[in-house]
A and B are shown apart, each in its own frame.
Chain A
């Protein structure tokens, strides 16, 4: 019931948003929402805390930006290239980290992401601190000019919906059931004959790919691939978004991304107080509000 209402709200708001909000800002929120959903697939449904998801988000942004700018790829192909890169990177990270659990897993992904960050900083094609600037938005399918704000917006919304549906399907498939079984009780899943590590790795790769999809899309929106997207604080931000919205709920990360994104945008005039407020929200969420906004809604209205 709650989910049905949320589906409708999401579609309506998503379709109408550019008419009452600043479109570029909404696009930014959508990219982060997709990123958070991808992250939630891992933390919320498999119970793995990755502290290195910025590597996929940022890495894909650079790859997409580069192939579009330097090789003249059309936007769709560029974004696909970015997502593909995130997928490969996800397989590598997953292979290295999946054997460890809990905080080890978090620390290992964090350190691996830091390698990517420094590589981006130092490789010649990324522009270092300058970032990769002036990525052309180009024409979608050869005829839709993405420099039109509305065309760009609806393209981003479509990408978001695509990613969201992929996650939705994954969660509600037999594969998703196994993932949740692993989260609930890993040794039991193992004793039932499931190759737990394989399932985890697959979930990790899906999550990484979609995080990359979000990052690549963001690069096209802002015509910019920036170091900040690959910095570990971005990994922290996405955790916060997921946590605020509701861990392990379908819509939680979306609500979380909107809440956190709007908050930092509205409060940006207050400088570093934004960070203090976000930190405080983080602490409150962990201590007393672990279900998040959507989780509480579900509890209030019952059922899922």
Chain B
């Protein structure tokens, strides 16, 4: 029976882990190119969920016309929306800060986070609004012998892992990715080869944000959609990033998944530590491998 419990909690942990992975992946991509920690990443995640929620429940009767966006459409619309917003932020604001200390980027995105959270807190309940648009086809339950697991959660796990690895593949193994990496290594030289580095930066920032938005849509049916849903998550993801190190895309994905599992199993072994275990691991990593598990010393 004990094995069953561990398996069940591990699966739930993996469920959380895929969100860690997607968010830390987005952060890693952005950090890789811009050297900026995007504090607003949690807010982008929240925004993705809200696009799905608003699209589903508030646009269904807009002056008599139904513009309703279903779940499947949200998977495309929400990341697109969040990505474009990200690009606007990069073009109009972040761009002005590249000459300065990188902490200004962190501070700016922190301010943006406050604005977005405050805006949504005015119109939506802080404790969350349930997302009603979960598709019929995913609303069932799968009997995994050790537990009943909602089909949707299984879908979210598989889908996120596919997205993560697809991103990794594009960046590490395609021409587009090699150009991006060249831009990271040596922006001046890359520009000299005729590549538009500023455009690459904008698109990359947009893509990172879009990943967060996508994670938000996937999270909406599981957790309620709430203005603060990204706020506490982003802090954990920061710890994930510190543990994984900033060097590699694969590092971000694997660390995210693994830490979700660790957290899930801690819930069985010693529940009170579940919310802190990741931070303690972070301290250990800092003591023995300051650059992180996958990071390169800079």
Question: What residues make up the interface of A, taking CB atoms closer than 8 Å to B?
Answer: 47, 49, 96-97, 99-100, 102-104, 106-108, 110-112, 114-115, 118-119, 121-122, 232, 236, 239-240, 243, 271-283, 285-287, 290
Contacts and interface: CB of A to CB of B under 8 A. Distances in A.
A286 B238 contact: no
A110 B110 CA distance: 13
A115 B284 CA distance: 13
A164 to B, nearest CB: 24
Interface size class of B (residues with CB under 8 A): 35 or more
A115 B283 CA distance: 10
A279 B118 contact: yes
B175 interface: no
B37 interface: yes
Contacts of B107: 49, 239, 243, 282, 286
Nearest to A232: B235
Contact of A114 (B113, B119, B235, B272): B235
Interface string B252-288: 0000000000000000000010011001101100110
A103 B110 CA distance: 13
Interface in B213-264: 227, 235, 238-239, 241-242
A272 B106 contact: no
10 contacts: A49-B106, A96-B286, A115-B276, A115-B280, A118-B279, A121-B275, A272-B121, A275-B117, A275-B118, A276-B115
The secondary-structure label for the interface of chain B is: helix
Contacts of A273: 118, 122
B142 interface: no
The secondary-structure label for the interface of chain A is: helix
Nearest to A284: B111
Contact of A279 (B112, B279, B286): B112
A102 B105 CA distance: 11
B114 interface: yes
B242 A279 contact: no
Given A102-B103, A286-B108, A279 B290 contact: no
A276 B235 contact: no
B292 to A, nearest CB: 9
Interface-central residue, A118, A277, A278, by most chain B CB under 10 Å = A118
A280 B111 contact: yes
B122 A272 contact: yes
B287 A96 contact: yes
B98 interface: no
B114 A275 contact: yes
Interface in B187-237: 227, 235
A270 B104 CA distance: 29
A246 B283 CA distance: 33
B110 A239 contact: yes
B187 to A, nearest CB: 18
B96 interface: yes
Nearest to A278: B114
Given A103-B37, A275-B121, A118 B275 contact: yes
Nearest to A274: B118
Contacts of A104: 242
Contacts of A102: 101-103
B118 A272 contact: yes
Nearest to B272: A122
Contacts of A282: 107-108, 110-111, 114
A286 B241 CA distance: 25
Contacts of A277: 118
A106 B121 contact: no
The 10 lowest CB-CB distance pairs between A and B, nearest first, are A282-B111, A279-B114, A275-B118, A279-B115, A272-B121, A276-B118, A283-B111, A111-B239, A286-B108, A115-B279
